[in-house]
Structure 1
Amino acid sequence: MGGPVAGGARGAPIPVDRSVPGLIVKFGDYPLHHGGVGAIRSLGRLGVPMYAIAEDRCTPAAVSRYLRQAFVWPTAGTEEPERLVEGLLGIGRKIGRPTVLIPTDEEAAVLIAEHQDALAARFLFPCVDAKLPRRLASKQGLHELCAEHGIPSPTGVFPQSYEEIERFAERARFPVVAKNREAFERRSRPAVNGTTRIADREGLLRLARGWGERPGVVLQEYLPREDAEDWIVHAYFDTESTPLAMFTGVKVRSWPPHAGMTANAYIVDNPELADIAARFIKQIGFTGVIDLDLRFDRRDGQYKLLDFNPRMGAQFRLFENEAGIDVVRAMHLDLTGRPVPEGEQLAGRRYIVENIDLAALLAYRRSGYTTPHAPARASGTELAWFAGDDPLPFLTMLARFVRPGAKHLHQLWRARRSATAGRT
């Protein structure tokens, strides 16, 4: 397959194959996803034709100047796999040529891995053990793999009944953290909304009464933020589980605070952390893009693996090397048989998610928390939404974000006003 050479971020040519398009694959209703916009821009700026699955034609991704076509396909992520596979194949037929699949959520990554044979005729993607992505995305599966390969992770229990939770509550050291055991459930509602910090026994038992006969949660030790640092690893691994692009960074702020999506982060060199990630990937034999969240526990000096996303992370555009390579570009180059240019990561580079970082900044200032490894000054800044060469996704994000956000703030103001009046 031939194609012209496009220029990278540092002016050096990137031997991208423009004859092979990319398709952003996402299942579920979350139109304000900056990771998909970042992937569209990253490959689109190199001349790669880009396509995307979108909830409607007015999502930020759908209006990017670098998108060739948006396939409007509203999904909930709970559909039967066969229906989703058939829908993907239909999109592949419309594109009409081999296309690199770029999943942005666990549902998509797991579906692609578990239906490789059906999808391989029309799409390009890393060939991985079909069962591995689902196991890595599961809190219990990841915990078991960490124990098997000697990777530190927070101490956790996986209760099978309310009675087990009661027994755990009697001996647990609070606070504890509750997370959904599986990354996604096709036939049931999640037990908790993301990472939930539970302060005491009474709070745990009160929540647990709503989890049903078989609680789908993991209860983990809480790593105090004053004794911990949040780190990120993004990388792309080839068929031999060798890293062709490897990056490490520190998370400065997240939203919700200390437990949610990255709002502000920096590239920070951490050879020890890169070595831990590379050894673990080699041991489990993973191929493709990874997004890892780890917490450094100063009490015992260990990096503890919290989450393993077997796909690109929303903040992947933080990470780029001197040759202009990020993990999405590395994957496209490798899957099309092109060399992946090497280079040092751009240490000190900063990433900001505009619509959540201000709220996160205010929350972190109130708590007095600071990140020791954050550089005093950024060497460069990548914004999640705004780009001078592609402004419409930013404006669309504002239109969809500000109105519900203003309504929510108004509701909070009314509730606080009513509470104040009641006390008076």
Structure 2
Amino acid sequence: MPFEADRDVPGLIVKFGDYPLHHGGVGAIRSLGRLGVPMYAITEDAYTPAASSRYLERAFVWPTRGTEDADHLVEGLLRIGRRIGRPTVLVPTDEEAAVLIAEHQDELKGPFLFPRVAPGLPRRLASKQGLHELCVEHGVPTPAAAFPQSYDDIVAFADRARFPVVAKNREAFVRRSRPAVGGTTRITTREGLLALARDWGERPGVVLQEYLPREQAEDWIVHAYFDQDATPRALFTGVKVRSWPPHAGMTAHAYVVDNPELADLAARFIKQIGFTGIIDLDLRYDRRDGQYKLLDFNPRMGAQFRLFESESGVDVVRAMHLDLTGRPVPEGEQRSGHRYVVENIDLPALLAYRRSGYTTPHAPTRASGTELAWLAGDDPLPFVTMLARFVRPGAKHLYQLWRTHRRGSATAPGG
């Protein structure tokens, strides 16, 4: 590779909540570990795929739910920092971690390195309402949306809405309270909306959004790292071919596809809002009006980030480590045509998409190379551990997600 990372500065994978089968964390451990960077990770237990990676120096077993008091989480991070004993780059893998780091920068800046950002910005970007308001303010296309404050507001919306519509939880931290909906929920009738809304309480925490029909849309991804001046040091675009649950969930299969228009849209928006750090954006191209509409803004590393690497060997996690340690980030074109496959969810996704007859027009007919989420010749144990933990409960979970999707509800895009 045309660069060397600072091997004296470790990396720490920061995750809150119970989701041990997270391929993004494994990817980050491998990405920096292959450069000789010592890697540490917070894990639910000692037997997660991340904990089994040959590139992990140590797993800090710390079961969390994402509902703990912020002071408790900050103190836990500081305790881990003292045990590592040297400045360490933080790599958050969820919104809870990204927001906590941003809102407690002064307490964490001693033992840890991370991009400095306006403290309230990541929370606002992770919120459906906050993101919608920023998009409107800066002229970035986004689906039309309403944010009802009461059941009467929902009735008024139902009287004028064009169905189907989509309901999502308004705020990012749905684990902190009882979510109104299980994820992205497609609602086809006025009566269906009013029936669901009766369970949402006096102050419904939902956004009601314009439905973008999949027959007239394409799902696109932008991953990037922006430095302290909100300048992109690594920026990639790709198209999502399959997700699980179908059309509304986690990326199962994706390709790198050059899209200068989309890259420019993302770079301009980030410059306008002044964000620094890693981003993972989900956008839907609406063929009816020719616009890329921003659906989700994840102010952290996305689970599928290893789809993207430049010809100089840089991905967004490597770009952040290089930048935070004062090293130049080499330029290079993205590997167009490269694909990414998440083995444990792509097969059910493939079967579902074949039944629906849906295809992605911009997906290449042949991949220039393939990156698997779990299986790696130089690091096989995470794949074996994933299989051991996934086979029985994982199959049951996939079935439950499929049943939910069949009823018209699915988890939100992202990751």
TM bucket (normalised to shorter chain) is: over 0.9
Amino acid at match of 1:55: E
1:13 match: secondary structure: coil
The aligned residue for residue 21 of structure 1 is 10
Separation of aligned partners in 2, 1:375 and 1:37: 27
Query: 2:107: which partner in 1?
Result: 118
Name the structure 2 match of 1:139. Answer: 128
Indicate how the Cα distance of structure 1 residues 274 and 32 shifts in structure 2: closer, same or farther if over 3 A, else same. Answer: same
Give the 5 Å matches for 1:25-424.
25-185=14-174, 187-407=176-396
CA gap 1:297/1:79 in 2 versus in 1, 3 angstroms: same
Q: Is the 8 A contact 1:184 1:190 kept in 2?
A: no
Q: CA deviation at 1:294?
A: 0.3
Q: CA deviation at 1:379?
A: 0.2
Secondary structure of 2:375's match? coil
Write the deviation string for residues 190-228 of structure 1: whole angstroms up to 9, x where unpaired: 111221111212221221111111010100000000100
Q: What is the identity, as a one-letter code, of the residue corresponding to 1:161? A: S
CA distance in 2, matches of 1:383, 1:257: 19
How far does residue 107 in structure 1 lie from its aligned partner after superposition?
0.2
Letter paired with 1:149: H
Instruction: Answer whether contact 2:245 2:401 (CA < 8 A) is retained.
Output: no
1:15–1:339 Cα contact (<8 Å) kept: no
| Aligned residue number for residue 6 of structure 1 | none
Unaligned runs of 5+ in 1: 1-11, 414-424
SS at match of 2:40: strand
Distance 1:109 1:370 in 2: 34
What is the deviation of 1:162? Answer: 1.1
Paired residues in the alignment total: 402
Query: C-alpha displacement at 1:241, in angstroms?
Result: 0.5
1:417 match: none
Instruction: Assess if the C-alpha contact under 8 Å between 1:89 and 1:119 holds in 2.
Output: yes
For 2:399 and 2:262, locate their aligned partners in 1 and report how far apart those are by CA, in whole Å. Answer: 43
The 3 A distance-change label for structure 1 pair 371 and 412 is: closer
Q: For residue 169 of structure 1, report the CA deviation from its aligned partner.
A: 1.2
CA distance in 2, matches of 1:122, 1:143: 35
Shift of residue 389, structure 1, vs aligned partner: 0.8
SS across alignment from 1:373: coil
**1:339 counterpart letter in structure 2:** P
Partner of 2:406: none
- Distance in structure 2 (CA, Å) of the matches to 1:110 and 1:180: 17
Verify the 8 A CA contact 2:16 2:96 in the aligned structure 1: yes
Q: Give 1:336's aligned amino acid.
A: T
In the alignment, the residues of structure 2 paired with residue 187 and residue 60 of structure 1 have an alpha-carbon distance, to the nearest angstrom, of: 26
Contact 2:12 2:40 in 1 (8 A): yes
Per-residue Cα deviation, 1:227-283 (whole angstroms, up to 9, x for no partner) = 000000000000110000000000001111111100000000000000000000000
**SS state at 1:178 partner:** strand
Q: Following the alignment from structure 2 to structure 1, what is the Cα–Cα distance between the partners of residues 363 and 395? A: 31
- Say whether the 8 Å CA contact 1:235–1:289 is kept in structure 2: yes
State the shift of 1:188 in Å: 1.5
Question: In the aligned structure 2, how far is the partner of 1:259 from the partner of 1:14?
Answer: 38
Once the two structures are TM-superposed, the CA of residue 186 in structure 1 deviates from its matched residue by 6.3
State the alpha-carbon separation in 2 of the partners of residues 203 and 106 from structure 1.
Answer: 31
- SS of residue paired to 1:265: strand
Q: Distance in 1 between matches of 2:153 and 2:401?
A: 37
Paired with 1:139 and 1:407, the residues of 2 have a C-alpha distance of: 30
Paired with 2:401 and 2:185, the residues of 1 have a C-alpha distance of 21
| Aligned-partner SS, 2:21 | coil
**Which letter maps to 2:229?**
E
- Give yes or no for contact 1:178–1:192 (8 Å, CA) kept in 2: yes
How far has the Cα of 1:405 moved from its partner? 3.5
Normalising by structure 1, what TM-score?
Answer: 0.93
Partners of 1:405 and 1:116 lie apart in 2 by 37
* Whole-angstrom CA distance in 1 between matches of 2:81 and 2:263: 36
Q: CA deviation at 1:412?
A: 11
Taking the aligned partners of 1:79 and 1:186, their CA distance within structure 2 comes to 10
- What percent of counterpart residues are identical? 83
Check the 8 A contact 2:242/2:251 in 1, yes or no.
yes
Inter-partner Cα distance in structure 2 for 1:409 and 1:185: 21
Conservation of the 8 A alpha-carbon contact between 1:180 and 1:216 = yes
Task: Name the amino acid aligned to 2:393.
Answer: P
Range 203-212 or range 59-68, more displaced: 203-212
Cα displacement (A) at 1:303: 0.4
TM-score (norm. length: structure 2): 0.95
